[in-house]
Amino acid sequence: MKPILSTEEVVKLENIIEREGTSKAELMEHAGEFVASTALSYHPKEVVVLVGFGNNGGDGWVAADILQQHDVHVVVVSPVEPNEVPSALARHVARRTAGRDVEIVVGPSRDELAALLVKADLAIDAILGTGFHGEVRPPFSIWIPTLNDSSPRVISVDVPSGLDSDSGVAADHCVRADKTATMIAPKIGLYSADGPQFVGELVCGELYDRLDEVIDDVDHAAEIVEPADLVDYIEPLPANVNKYSRGSVLVVAGSARYPGAAMMAAKSAARAGAGYVAVAAPDACANLIRMALPSIPVIAIPSDSRGSFGAAARQVVCEIAKKYDCVLCGPGMTTASGCMQVVSGLLELDVPLILDADALNCLARLSIDGIDKTPELYRREAPLILTPHHRELSRLVGDVPVDDLGTAIDAAQRIEWAVGSDNLVVVAKGATTAIVGVEKVLIPISGPASLATAGSGDVLAGIMAGTVATAHGDVDRWELLCAYAVAVHSYTGFAAAAEYGEKSVIATDLIDLIGEALQLVENEACKDLGILTDGEAE
């Protein structure tokens, strides 16, 4: 796993590294070297380096110097003369670069800057980094749109200028990078809110060769899960299994209005490897589900007058649910009062439970002002996995706004910390999904935008249920198991986009590609571990 840090954590880490004997000036030299080597991979001939007043600009001055030594023609565009750069560290390297044969243009007009960029095949954005705050001021409010309107490729240093490195919120003017070369560790804002739209491809320069020894001395805002981290969940099917020993799932879902969600979740659980999947659905839609899924037994549960679970459902469902390795509750269920009773009954059982979709809305309604205020509602011994998207998550915490990665992590942590259990995981689904456990936040491998389609969440919930059931409770870290399920779902998205075109993927396509996705995750993990080469994985 690779850490993602907040700006405050990066500053703490820099101070630790300094105490260990590597100064900030040396880190700036390494940062510049990393930017230069990233730039050289494009084999540029003509590079414009835009520098600001701070140390982000310092990285740019160092990179300009190195590029020039590699026979690249470099023009540094600066708001002030090298002698007047306010940051002492950056001033030192600016003067040094100015002493060499590098062309420097101070305070160009919009047209002058545009003319320089027309001639360049690469631009380096070292205007603003982690020190950016507020709205972009002149001259950068002119430089940034001029850069965005120009043709050369753009490498942003550390953070695209104008992006808040913690919240990921882009200012009115923000550099749209082709590549972001971030320093030491990725910043959380690169993944949050507007970040993914502006960052382009992300590469990270560690800058300090003993980073592994000190990185855990600071908290990590989150950690990125890499394929190799998932290797424990990639198990071949043993020869001596039967359908029950492979793992069983009960999907408590559906209503007369939404029978399809129950079908998709159940079929996905089976495709993800569970040997026995059954559906408990209101009798108003049980027959429909039976006909659609001949391989899956459907248990008809008493309905209310509108075709959702009725008053008698709780007792019947809970009696059946005890026998399964995992229960998934929620897809297409509605929030009728019988459904709320089913959810509260399942929470009392000693069986791994996944609450998704309307089960989460039921849970929110069972509390008055957010479930974090009434932890007794969801505190339990057996594992509990909640899979809310941002709106569902907001409802769970009493309508506190949740609209990006940062606010999603905050809300999920409230839910976590109210009970403080290793067995509770909140999978906060979004453009960047966060898997929040009591101690760690994991960012799993994310899928393509094609996954943003109705029913995709039902497929993920089914994959998660199949994964939990086949693990048989033998799990060290439930967050990592959830990351595996999210990765499988992500790869169904890639496979479906390749097969049907990225705009044409529908949720049912994903289900039939789960087998392929399981194989893709395995291949990627093996490649990461050096067991398989790219060629062998084809």
Q: Residue 181 has which token pair?
A: 């070369």
Alpha-carbon gap, residue 265 to 329, rounded angstroms: 10
H or E element that contains 51: strand 46-51
Sort strands 153-157 and 122-126 into parallel, antiparallel or unpaired: parallel
8-state DSSP, 216:
G
Contacted entry of ligand LZDS7PUF, K ion, none for residue 161, CB cut-off 5 to 8 Å set by kind? K ion
Among 476, 113, 489, 455, smallest CA distance to 271 is for 489
Contact call for residue 157 and K ion (CB under 5 A): yes
Q: Residue 490 has which token pair?
A: 């992500």
| CB 398, min distance to K ion, A | 38
The answer to whether 59 is annotated as binding is: yes
> Quick one: which segment of 151-159, 191-199, 252-260, 335-343 binds ligand LZDS7PUF (CB under 6 A)?
151-159
Contact call for residue 161 and K ion (CB under 5 A): yes
- Computed on alpha carbons and rounded to an integer, the radius of gyration of the chain in Å comes to 26
| Site map 201..220 versus ligand LZDS7PUF, x via CB under 6 A | --------------------
Which residue stretches of 293-404 are H helix? 313-321, 337-348, 358-366, 390-396
Alpha-carbon gap, residue 7 to 176, rounded angstroms: 21
| CB 201, min distance to ligand LZDS7PUF, A | 18
8-state DSSP, 434:
E
| CB 66, min distance to ligand LZDS7PUF, A | 14
- End-to-end Cα spacing for the chain: 25
Contact call for residue 133 and ligand LZDS7PUF (CB under 6 A): yes
Contact call for residue 352 and ligand LZDS7PUF (CB under 6 A): no
Q: Which listed residue (44, 52, 108, 338) binds ligand LZDS7PUF by CB under 6 A?
A: 52
> Quick one: which segment of 13-21, 122-130, 277-285, 509-517 binds K ion (CB under 5 A)?
122-130
Q: Which listed residue (38, 146, 156, 453) binds K ion by CB under 5 A?
A: 156
Contacted entry of ligand LZDS7PUF, K ion, none for residue 52, CB cut-off 5 to 8 Å set by kind? ligand LZDS7PUF
The answer to whether 457 is annotated as binding is: yes
Nearest CB to ligand LZDS7PUF, comparing residues 88 and 531: 88
> Quick one: which segment of 37-45, 89-97, 155-163, 196-204 binds K ion (CB under 5 A)?
155-163
Cβ-based burial of 498 (10 A; exposed 0-12, middle 13-18, buried ≥19): middle
Sort strands 201-205 and 179-183 into parallel, antiparallel or unpaired: parallel
Helix 88-98 to helix 24-40 angle, to the nearest 10 degrees?
50
| CB 536, min distance to ligand LZDS7PUF, A | 38
- ∠ CA 127-132-136 to the nearest 5 degrees? 75
Contact call for residue 258 and ligand LZDS7PUF (CB under 6 A): no
The answer to whether 141 is annotated as binding is: no
User: Footprint of ligand LZDS7PUF on residues 154-183 (CB under 6 A)?
Assistant: 157-159, 183
- ∠ CA 427-430-436 to the nearest 5 degrees? 25
CB 56 within 8 A of CB 157: yes
In DSSP notation, 237-252 reads PPTT--TTTT-EEEEE
| CB 207, min distance to ligand LZDS7PUF, A | 6
Numbered residues of the known binding site? 55-59, 125, 129-135, 158, 161, 261, 332, 389, 429-433, 457-458
| Chain residues that interact with ligand LZDS7PUF, rule: CB under 6 A | 10, 14, 24, 27-28, 31, 52-59, 86-87, 128-137, 140, 157-159, 183-184
Numbered residues of the known binding site for (6S)-NADPHX? 55-59, 129-135, 158, 261, 332, 389, 458
| Chain residues that interact with K ion, rule: CB under 5 A | 125, 156-157, 161
